[in-house]
């Protein structure tokens, strides 16, 4: 019964039983417009993208920043490259463009001078990341322990041979993947939790709803992938709730949620927020007891892994890797 | 003075062993959090050398804890009552083993707590715990030179014995994270009463984080008055949807009341005790509405007439609302 597993239906049911009213608006300021697509053509003033709904012509300005393995100019906007474009606050011109960007986060299985083999967690399989001498040096600056069993988090670009690392996404936690500073089992859950939000995956890839039947999120108003999905470290493992049985406790006391649950996420740096949908167990995020220093130093622990579109829409820079985040708990203003 | 110090160690170790015994028997450890499905031996398929830590964690079970506590109690009593050299040798070996165990736990599973004093030792194993265990072993080694049973030690001179003992107790108290836990427990009157009557005094895992088996939820639901009221109206015994949000597990059933199909929603608490069951009846919704570009104002409430379902629906039931998330609005061509 897909309708029964619709997140909005669940919210309706929850309000019916526990009370509360629909929020007048989403958490925080509105997200920015984000588009994903393939570059068809580009000039210094216009970027033409092939999106899921058709061709989009996006004005570019002198301040539009382009990333392709590092800061690049308009020359990097070559046809065929996968682009994620974040519009400016007015939604009129492209503000940031990321080309062929991707991210590999997980536990190192093996490390050679030219290759990293990474376990992405039970839901995502494994990835082999190519390293060149320059990127290897860059990665090792913030990942001093490239040894099996340690965590790794690198930014990549697409290449015909697979993902190619271009630098570290965040600093490597000093602990092994299994050596977590977990909270006490009886640690209470505060009304809101602050920590780190990161992103995962590749822009343009379909996002599963995590509901076990292979369905993906419905297209957004414009037909593009909506990017609602979020991987959450404390997914209930009982029954068909989503299964997070392989996940460690994590290093933040988080309430248990099922797949399909809502998560009110606010970027502390930009003030932008949205209600995202838990679509996957954040088994990998649970292992990272690190901080984000995008705007001040966040408390330890990754609370959510967003899709790239959602991350950029909330004001995060994909090449920065993280932003400080606040997540409010409770059913629409009510405590649990 | 050397003789006094040696003999005071016997008294100290006997007291520590008896305290550990009492703590293990009286204070249960909190329920472990999410179990590591891989047993801690593999991390996403990467083998991790953790067999000693795993073996140590086996000792943290309730039954193993009781046995260990009883052994400690017997050893403590033996130190108090007997001046046999063998008893002190066994105590020394025991403390040396405990030191190794604490060091292993600190290296591999520090978050699990050392369990030295049962449910009081739930804090992360830190340097203080290791130093304390090493000092206890050193005290046990010193006690090998003693000649008296613990109960006979005060005869060596009450003042000197009390002075050395107080000094050592102050040192060990400063190295014991259990004291803070004990004080925290003492703050709650209910918990203090529970301690007084010998009931379990552990702090429950908060309902938001507690792993509540589905069988427990179903048992709670089936024993509730709401279930008994609507049991005969259910179209199917299997729920249409089950999900968890913090302190509640929700179950949706299809019910037929007065020839009208309705959704019956139960919210069952996931708390360890005093679980509640809330419920509501909702009219069927044909199809989920499309995601609006902006939040719609809340429509008027739909209330089931009391004559149809007496005392069932107590709250207004607004239809579904979706969060607007304009990530990918249409682009101006």
| B245 close to A (CB below 8 A) | yes
Which residue is closest to A225 within chain B, CA to CA?
A: B328
pLDDT band (50, 70, 90) for residue A165:
very high
Q: How confident is the model at residue B152 (pLDDT cuts 50, 70, 90)?
A: confident
- The values of phi and psi at residue B23, to 5°, are -65, -45
CB contact under 8 A, A16 and B282: yes
Residue A5: its pLDDT value, please? 59
Tell me which chain B residues have a C-beta less than 8 angstroms from the C-beta of A178. 36, 40, 43, 48, 50
Residues from chain B contacting residue A149 (CB–CB below 8 Å): 43, 46, 48
Rounded mean pLDDT, B282-293:
55
In the beta sheet, which residues pair with residue A29? A272
- What is the mean pLDDT of the segment spanning B159-164? 84
Total residues found in chain B within this entry? 333
- A138-162: per-residue pLDDT in tens? 999 999 888 888 999 999 998 888 8
φ, ψ of residue A79 in degrees (nearest 5): -55, 140
Q: Which domains does chain A have, with CATH numbers?
A: 34-99 (2.40.50), 102-168 (2.40.50.140), 180-328 (2.40.40.10)
* Cross-chain Cβ contact A14/B250 below 8 Å: yes
Q: Supply A120's token pair.
A: 């992405």
CB contact under 8 A, A186 and B206: yes
Q: In chain A, which residue's Cα lies nearest the Cα of B211?
A: A236
Q: Cβ contact (<8 Å) for A184 and B34? A: no
Best mutation target among A16, A19, A54, A315 (most B Cβ atoms within 10 Å) is A16
This complex has an ipTM of 0.83
What pLDDT score does B58 carry? 54
pLDDT digits (tens, 9 = 90+) for B240-266: 888 888 889 999 999 998 888 899 999
Of B299, B301, B315, B216, the closest CA to residue B265 belongs to B315
Task: Quickly state the pLDDT bin for A323 (edges 50, 70, 90).
Answer: very high
Closest residue of B to A262, CA-based? B245
Work out the pLDDT band at A240, boundaries 50, 70, 90. Answer: low
Rounded mean pLDDT, A105-130: 89
Q: pLDDT at position B29, please?
A: 57
pLDDT, residue A223, reads: 39
Question: Of A49, A228, A249, which is closest to B34 when you measure between CB atoms?
Answer: A249
User: How does pLDDT run across B45-63, given as a tens digit for each residue?
Assistant: 333 434 444 555 555 566 7
Which tokens belong to A219?
């297209």
Question: Can you give the pLDDT at residue A239?
Answer: 55
Which residues between 92 and 151 in chain B have a beta carbon less than 8 angstroms from any beta carbon of chain A? Answer: 108, 110-111, 122-124
Q: Which residues of chain B have a CB within 8 Å of the CB of A10?
A: 241, 243, 250
State the burial class of residue B331 (Cβ atoms within 10 Å of its Cβ: 0-12, 13-18, 19+): buried
Domain boundaries, chain B: 2-196, 214-283
Residue B226 touches chain A, beta carbons under 8 Å: no
| Closest C-alpha to B85, from B141, B146, B154 | B146
User: Cα–Cα–Cα angle for B36, A127, A260, nearest 5°?
Assistant: 55
Closest residue in A to B125 (Cα–Cα): A181
B residues 287-316 closer than 8 Å to A (CB) = 287-289, 291, 293, 295, 298, 313, 315
């Amino acid at each position: 019964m897909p309708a029964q597993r619709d997140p909005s239906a669940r919210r309706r049911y929850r309000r019916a039983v526990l009370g509360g009213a629909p929020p007048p608006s989403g958490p925080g300021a509105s997200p920015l417009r984000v588009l994903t697509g393939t570059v068809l053509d580009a000039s210094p003033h216009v970027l033409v993208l092939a999106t899921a709904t058709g061709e989009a012509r996006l004005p570019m300005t002198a301040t539009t920043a382009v990333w392709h393995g590092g800061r690049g100019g308009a020359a990097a906007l070559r046809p065929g490259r996968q682009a994620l474009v974040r519009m400016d606050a007015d939604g009129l011109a492209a503000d940031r463009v990321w080309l062929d960007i991707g991210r590999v986060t997980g536990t190192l299985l093996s490390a050679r001078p030219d290759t990293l083999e990474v376990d992405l967690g039970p839901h995502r399989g494994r990835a082999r990341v190519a390293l060149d001498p320059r990127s290897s040096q860059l990665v090792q600056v913030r990942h001093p322990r490239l040894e099996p069993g340690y965590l790794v988090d690198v930014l990549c670009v697409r290449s015909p041979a697979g993902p190619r690392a271009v630098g570290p996404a965040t600093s490597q936690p000093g602990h092994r993947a299994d050596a977590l500073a977990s909270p006490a089992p009886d640690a209470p859950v505060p009304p809101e939790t602050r920590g780190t939000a990161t992103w995962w995956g590749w822009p343009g890839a379909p996002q599963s709803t995590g509901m076990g039947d292979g369905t993906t999120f419905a297209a957004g108003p414009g037909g593009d992938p909506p990017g609602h999905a979020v991987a959450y470290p404390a997914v209930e493992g009982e029954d068909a709730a989503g299964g997070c049985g392989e996940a460690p406790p994590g290093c933040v006391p988080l309430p248990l949620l099922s797949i399909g649950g809502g998560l009110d996420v606010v970027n502390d740096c930009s003030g932008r927020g949205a209600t995202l949908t838990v679509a996957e167990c954040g088994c990998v995020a649970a292992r990272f007891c690190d901080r984000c220093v995008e705007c001040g130093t966040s408390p330890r622990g990754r609370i959510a892994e967003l899709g790239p579109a959602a991350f950029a829409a909330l004001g995060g820079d994909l090449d920065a890797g993280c932003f400080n985040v606040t997540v409010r708990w409770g059913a629409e203003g009510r405590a649990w | 003075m050397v003789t006094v110090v040696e003999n005071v160690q016997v008294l100290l170790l006997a007291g520590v062993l008896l305290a550990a015994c009492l703590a293990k028997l009286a204070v249960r450890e909190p329920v472990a959090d999410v179990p590591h499905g891989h047993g801690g031996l593999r991390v996403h398929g990467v083998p991790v050398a953790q067999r000693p830590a795993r073996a140590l964690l086996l000792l943290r079970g309730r039954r193993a804890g009781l046995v260990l506590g009883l052994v400690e109690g017997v050893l403590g009593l033996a130190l108090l009552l007997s001046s046999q050299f063998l008893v002190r040798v066994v105590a020394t070996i025991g403390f040396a083993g405990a030191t190794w165990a604490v060091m292993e736990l600190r290296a591999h599973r520090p978050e699990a707590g050392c369990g030295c004093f049962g449910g009081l030792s739930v804090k992360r194993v830190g340097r203080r715990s290791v130093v304390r265990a090493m000092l206890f072993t050193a005290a046990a080694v010193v006690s090998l030179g003693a000649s008296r049973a613990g109960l006979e030690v005060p005869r060596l001179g009450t003042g000197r014995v009390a002075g050395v003992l107080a000094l050592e107790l102050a040192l060990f108290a400063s190295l014991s994270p259990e004291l803070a836990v004990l004080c925290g427990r003492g703050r709650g009157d209910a918990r203090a009463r529970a301690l007084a009557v010998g009931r379990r005094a552990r702090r429950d895992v908060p309902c938001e984080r507690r792993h509540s088996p589905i069988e427990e939820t179903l048992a709670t639901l089936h024993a509730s008055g709401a279930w008994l009221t609507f049991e005969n109206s259910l179209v199917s015994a299997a729920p249409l949807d089950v999900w968890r949000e913090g302190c509640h597990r929700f179950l949706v059933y299809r019910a037929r009341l007065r020839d009208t199909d309705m959704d019956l929603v139960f919210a069952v608490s996931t708390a360890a005790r005093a679980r509640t069951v809330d419920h509501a009846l909702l009219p069927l919704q044909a199809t989920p509405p499309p995601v609006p570009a902006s939040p719609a104002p809340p429509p008027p409430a739909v209330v089931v007439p009391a004559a149809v379902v007496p005392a069932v629906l107590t709250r207004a039931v607004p239809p579904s609302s979706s969060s607007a998330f304009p990530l990918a609005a249409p682009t101006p061509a």
